[in-house]
Structure 1
Amino acid sequence: MSRVLVEVAPGVLVATSRRDITTSTVIVDGGTTLLVDPAWEPDELEALADWLEEAGLTVAAGYSTHAHHDHLLWHPGFGGAPRWTSAVAAETVAEHRGELVELLGPDWPRQLTPLVGQVRPLTGGSIPWPGRTAEIIVHDGHSIGHGAVWLPTSGVLLAGDMLSDVELPLAEETGLGAYDEALDIVLPYVRQAAVLVPGHGHPTTTPMDRWAADRHYLDALLHLRPVDDERLGHRGMAQAHAANLACRGR
């Protein structure tokens, strides 16, 4: 991750990890920040903490878009702010935290392990912090209790692990139908968005193109049509597509 974050909208900055093109989003309001999905490698987390310190910013809250190990990370340099996720995702983390930590591998630093997945259930419709409104959009696409973040005053949608230019819809966990329903749920926000930031991939100023690509792919699978999607050429996507094909029989 570069120490230089890219400002995709006023006060909304994105850093991109060298691992899986994973994004970390910093939402700045005054001297405080909301930190969404900080990732990935330990040195990148440390670099982000250093950047925040040098910028004189205090983390007021954290948010994980869903209950997957690469979206549940934290660093001591971020401080002890409350970390939130959807109520369903928090329940999943509590039940499977040991497995999620194991997925980080044996080389994950011991000092960072206790911070993995220390999230609280968010029962309201927005993330509590002193800055601009950050609404959550909960659905079961990609994972149960997945919660995208909508910043209405900024026109920014943090989509989590959907609407990516490098990842196909990953529907193995919850099924094609759930992912298809999730596309309907997020559509009104995508239509309003000026900027979309995926959990893996590159921010875009044409969010509807991303939504259309996911819908086109899902429609092809659901209606047994051949799939023509350039994302199939990205690392791991041939296997992901095979898993999605297997979902058609469920």
Structure 2
Amino acid sequence: LADAIKNSRVVLGESGAPNVRADLNEKLPVTGLAMLGEEPQQFMFEFPGLLRNVPVLEEAAAGRGLFTIRPERDGIVRRVPMMMVAQGVTMPSLTFEMLRVAGGSGTILIKADKGGIQSLGITGFAIPTDLYGQLWIHYARRDPSIYVSAVDVLDGRVSPDRIAGKLILIGTSSVGLNDIKTTPVTPAMPGVEVHAQVLESALTGDVVSQPSYGIAIEFFAAMIMGLLVIAFAPKFGPVTLVVVGGLFASVLIGTSWYFYSQHRLLIDFT
């Protein structure tokens, strides 16, 4: 297995962990990082431990990335961290490392300001992120045809043309292995498909982003709405207030939809 990995451009997945600490092999090549602006590590998700593969496989791989996915507070996966810190090591996600290796880039450029991380760049790609270095996934419709059974591959029932020249993710879809995620488009999506959605968003350039000034705009709109209610409530009846409030809310919702549909910007006035 190590020989097969060494003869290909394979990126191994690792996991940030709270209670597991790995023996960091200083001989392993480390993905180069270049920082522009503020120190980005202060904004990244950090794990005290790191779960790695056996050393013989780690040494044979072309890259290593974290496949850790952090759902939102409601359990839905809307964003995926693209850069994280595990056991003191700054590491890319599995998908971002795959893009780096596939593109032949030696260094990841991280842009950050005082408000947080702005974007991540490699050769051929500049991906906007939120302030924590997370990518907002623009989910596509599920396509079962992208799945290829590992058994069929091992038994020679899959044409080499089916996988030649493609980025391949090896994962599981069994519920019992506890890697099923809830997403905005389906209540049950295998974690490996979430990573595939990230790759598709990055490769097609169809990436959703939340600008750093978005929160300020949302706060300003809410403040204006509150001031208008305070100013006009004593002068108008409840029906007029409901109508005016509905019109104002419609304008805000329409503005949010415009920024999302035309510019893939997330500005949520609701």
Q: So what's the TM-score if we normalise by structure 2?
A: 0.26
- Which entry has the higher C-alpha Rg, 1 or 2? 2
Q: So what's the TM-score if we normalise by structure 1?
A: 0.27
